[in-house]
Chain A
Amino acid sequence: MHITKSYKTTFILLLLLLVVLWFLNISLGSVSIPFKDVFSAIFNGEVSKDTWQTIVVDYRVPKAITAILVGAGLSISGLLMQTLFRNPLAGPFVLGISSGASLGVAILILGASLIGGISAFAFSSFSMAIAASLGAFLVLSAVLIAASKVRNTMSILIIGLMFGSITSAIISVLAYFSSAEQLQQFIFWGFGSLGNLSWNELTIFGVIFIIGVSLLFFIIKPLNSMLLGENYAKSMGVNIKRTRNIILITTSILTGVITAFSGPIAFVGLAVPHLTKLVFHTSNHKILLFAVAIVGAILMLVADMIAQLPTSEYTLPINAITSLFGAPIVIWLLVRTKKIT
C-alpha cells in the first residue's frame, strides 16, 4: 500500500485502553471503593456511601481528567519542539520551557511577598496560568532567537539547558528572600500534582487547553513539510514565520497552563513522541499529533496510578514518577535504536 497507513485499528485499541485506564485510575486510591459504586457515582446512580460519591466526583474524576490533559498537552508540545528544532532530543523540559513556566509561577508565589498586598490575586489559578504561559513564552522565544544563530542541533539543546539553569538560579534567589510559608507552598507545587484541582479550575484548564490545541489545525500541513528542513518547506510554499509563531504560541500556552496547574513535569514531552513512533511508524503529523496525545494521556494515567501507591495512604510526587520511568526510557531508546527519529 503506497498511501500513508491510517492506523485505524491501532487508534481504536489505544482509545479503548485509555477509557479502561481512566476507569481503573478512578477506582484506585487510598480509600477503596467497589467498582460498582465508582460506576454509579460517575453516572449519577445510587452510591452506598455519601463520602464515596464526594471522593469520586470531586476528587478522583477531576484528577483523572487532569492526567489526560497534562499527558496529552506535554506530548504534543514535545512533538512540536522535535519537529521545529529538527532535534529528536528536544522537549519542553529539555529546552527550558518548563523552567520558564516555573519562573513565572515562582515570581508570582515568591515575589508576592516582596511586593505584598496582591497575594489574593496572585494565587488565583487563572493568574498562575497566565504567569506560567508568559514565562514559557519568554524562554522559548529566547531559545528560538539563539537557535537562529547556531545551526548545530546539539548547541540548541545546550542553549536550552543553560536557559533552564538561569531560570532555576533566579528561582533560588527568589526562594532565599521569601518566607518559609511561601517557600513550602512553592516546593509542594514543584513536586507536581495532578490532584487538588476544583471543577472550576479544571474548566479554566480545559478551555485554555482546547484553545492551544485548536491552533494546531492550521499547521498540520506545514509541520509535515518542515520534516525536510526550513528551506525545502519554504520552497514548497510554507509560510515559515507564521508556522513558527503558531508553534511558539501553542507550546507556550500548553506548557504554561500545564505547569501552572500541575507543576513542572519532566520527560513526558521528550519520551512520549519516541514511544509513540515505536507503534506508529510514520512522520505524518496528521496521525502523530493525535497519536502522541493519546499515548501521553495513557502514560500519565498509569504514572498517576503508580504515584498514589494503591492500598497505601501516601501519594508520591508525580514528577518523581515521570522522571524515574522517563529517564531510563530515553536512555534505552538512545542505546537501542542508535538512530532515533
Chain B
Amino acid sequence: MLKQSILKTTDLQIGYTSKKKQLSIASNIDIEINEPKLICLVGKNGIGKSTLLRTLSKVQQKLGGEIDIRNKNLELYSSNDLSKVMSLVLTEKLPDSNLTVFELIALGRQPYTNWIGSLSQTDIDKVKESMQLTNIEDLENKKYYELSDGQLQKVLISRALAQDTDIIILDEPTAHLDVQHKMETFVLLKKMVDELGKTIIISTHEIHLAIQSANELWLMIDDEIISGNPQDLIKDKSIEKIFSSDKIEFDSEKQQFTLK
C-alpha cells in the first residue's frame, strides 16, 4: 500500500520568473510530512520563507521539482479541489470592505456552498464551531476593521478553520502581535494540531516559542532546509546556522538567541 503522505516535495526549486530570467531563491528542497504536526519554518529575513509557503500553496509558481499533496501532484489540483485540502492565512492587508466577522469567516465555507453562496445549517455550524475554538464568539457582529490586530488574526485563523482543510498554512501569523497574543496564537495552533488533527505550517521569527511548541522545525539556511525535532536540532547545533552574525549566539540553556 502507498505510504500515507500529507505533503512531500522532491527537488523543489522556488523563486521568481520575470520576462526571460529566473531568479532562484532556494533549490533542492526535499521535505516530507507524514502525520499531523505543527511545523515552524524559521530563517532570517529574505531567505525565502514566504516564497516557499506561497509556492507550497500554489499562490506562486514553482521553478522546478515536484510538490505532492496527499500523494497527488499539486499541478493536478484544480483551485476548487485544493481549497478543500489546504487553507491559508496570509500577511497581506485585507482590502477595505463592510464585512462582519461572521461574514468573513463564512467566506471560508465557499468551497462547499452552492453557486450563489447560500449557507446551509452545516455551514453555519462549522462557522460557529471555529469561532468557539478561537474564542471570538463575542466579535461575531463586529465589522472586521473595528478589530485589533490580535483579534483580526484570530478571525483569519478561524476563517481558515471553517474551510475545513487538513492543511493550514500561515505566513508569519504573529508578526504584529504583542507577547501575550503571540503566545496565545502558538497555543491555539498547537491545540488545532492536537485536538483536530490538522497539519499546520507557519513561518515565524519567534524561535523561542517555535522551539517550545513545534513538533518539527524547518530551518531555512542559505543552501538547504534542515528539518527535525527542535531538541535534536539544538543538540546537533544545526539551529545555530540560522544566523551568520558573529554578534549573536544560541544559548541552549535559555533556548534562544542572545547577544554575545
Residue from A3, A86, A238 in contact with B95 in the complex, judged by beta carbons closer than 8 Å: A86
Tell me if A88 and B98 are in contact (CB < 8 A). Answer: no
Smallest distance from the beta carbon of A14 to chain B beta carbons, Å? 18
A148→B162 CA distance, assembly (Å)? 30
Say yes or no: is B92 at the interface (Cβ < 8 Å to chain A).
yes
| B35-60 interface with A by 8 A CB criterion | 57-59
Tell me if A221 and B110 are in contact (CB < 8 A). Answer: yes
Tell me if B88 and A231 are in contact (CB < 8 A). Answer: yes
Tell me if B116 and A237 are in contact (CB < 8 A). Answer: no
A88→B145 CA distance, assembly (Å)? 15
Given A238-B110, A239-B79, A277-B98, A231 contacting B92 (CB threshold 8 A):
yes
Given A221-B110, A237-B79, A228 contacting B117 (CB threshold 8 A):
no
Tell me if B107 and A225 are in contact (CB < 8 A). Answer: yes
Smallest distance from the beta carbon of B182 to chain A beta carbons, Å? 23
Can you list 22 A-B pairs, Cβ within 8 angstroms, ordered by A? A2-B102, A2-B141, A3-B102, A221-B117, A224-B110, A227-B95, A229-B90, A229-B92, A231-B88, A234-B58, A235-B82, A235-B86, A236-B108, A237-B81, A237-B82, A238-B79, A239-B79, A283-B97, A283-B98, A284-B103, A339-B96, A340-B96
Say yes or no: is A244 at the interface (Cβ < 8 Å to chain B).
no
Say yes or no: is A35 at the interface (Cβ < 8 Å to chain B).
no
Smallest distance from the beta carbon of A31 to chain B beta carbons, Å? 45
Residue from A1, A3, A225, A339 in contact with B110 in the complex, judged by beta carbons closer than 8 Å: A225
Given A224-B107, A339-B96, A236 contacting B163 (CB threshold 8 A):
yes
Smallest distance from the beta carbon of B88 to chain A beta carbons, Å? 4
Residues of A within 8 A of B57 (CB): 235
| A1-19 interface with B by 8 A CB criterion | 1-4
Report which A residues bind B (CB closer than 8 A).
Answer: 1-4, 86, 88, 217-218, 220-221, 224-225, 227-229, 231-232, 234-239, 277, 281-284, 286, 339-341
Chain B interface mostly helix, strand, loop or mixed?
A: loop
Closest to B54 in A: A231
Tell me if A341 and B94 are in contact (CB < 8 A). Answer: no
Closest to A282 in B: B98
Tell me if B87 and A229 are in contact (CB < 8 A). Answer: no
For the A-B complex with A88-B96, A234-B59 known, give 15 more contacts whose Cβ atoms are closer than 8 Å. A220-B116, A221-B115, A221-B117, A227-B99, A227-B107, A229-B95, A232-B88, A234-B58, A234-B79, A235-B83, A236-B111, A281-B98, A283-B99, A339-B96, A339-B145
Residue from A237, A281, A286, A340 in contact with B80 in the complex, judged by beta carbons closer than 8 Å: A237
A234→B90 CA distance, assembly (Å)? 12
Residues of B within 8 A of A225 (CB): 107, 110
Tell me if A236 and B98 are in contact (CB < 8 A). Answer: no
Interface size on B, residues (CB 8 A): 39
Residues of A within 8 A of B111 (CB): 236-237
Smallest distance from the beta carbon of B122 to chain A beta carbons, Å? 14
Which among A227, A234, A277, A281 has the greatest number of chain B C-beta atoms within 10 A?
A227
Report which B residues bind A (CB closer than 8 A).
Answer: 57-59, 78-84, 86-88, 90, 92, 94-100, 102-104, 107-108, 110-111, 113, 115-117, 119, 124, 140-141, 145, 163
Residues of A within 8 A of B102 (CB): 2-3
Residues of A within 8 A of B113 (CB): 221
Residues of B within 8 A of A236 (CB): 83, 87, 107-108, 110-111, 163
Tell me if A220 and B117 are in contact (CB < 8 A). Answer: yes
Closest to A86 in B: B95
Residues of B within 8 A of A341 (CB): 96-98, 145
Tell me if A3 and B117 are in contact (CB < 8 A). Answer: no
Tell me if B117 and A224 are in contact (CB < 8 A). Answer: yes
A339→B146 CA distance, assembly (Å)? 12
Chain A interface mostly helix, strand, loop or mixed?
A: loop
A334→B102 CA distance, assembly (Å)? 27
Smallest distance from the beta carbon of B169 to chain A beta carbons, Å? 9
Smallest distance from the beta carbon of A245 to chain B beta carbons, Å? 15
Tell me if B59 and A231 are in contact (CB < 8 A). Answer: yes
Tell me if A237 and B83 are in contact (CB < 8 A). Answer: yes
A339→B108 CA distance, assembly (Å)? 26
Given A2-B140, A228-B95, A221 contacting B116 (CB threshold 8 A):
yes
Residues of A within 8 A of B95 (CB): 86, 227-229
Tell me if B103 and A4 are in contact (CB < 8 A). Answer: yes
Residues of B within 8 A of A1 (CB): 141
Residues of B within 8 A of A339 (CB): 96, 145
Tell me if A235 and B59 are in contact (CB < 8 A). Answer: yes
Tell me if B98 and A232 are in contact (CB < 8 A). Answer: no
Residues of B within 8 A of A229 (CB): 90, 92, 94-95
Smallest distance from the beta carbon of B7 to chain A beta carbons, Å? 15
Residues of A within 8 A of B86 (CB): 235
Residues of A within 8 A of B141 (CB): 1-2
Closest to A223 in B: B117
A231→B53 CA distance, assembly (Å)? 13
Nearest 8 pairs of A and B residues by beta carbon: A237-B83, A86-B95, A237-B80, A221-B117, A283-B98, A283-B97, A235-B88, A341-B96
Residues of A within 8 A of B78 (CB): 237
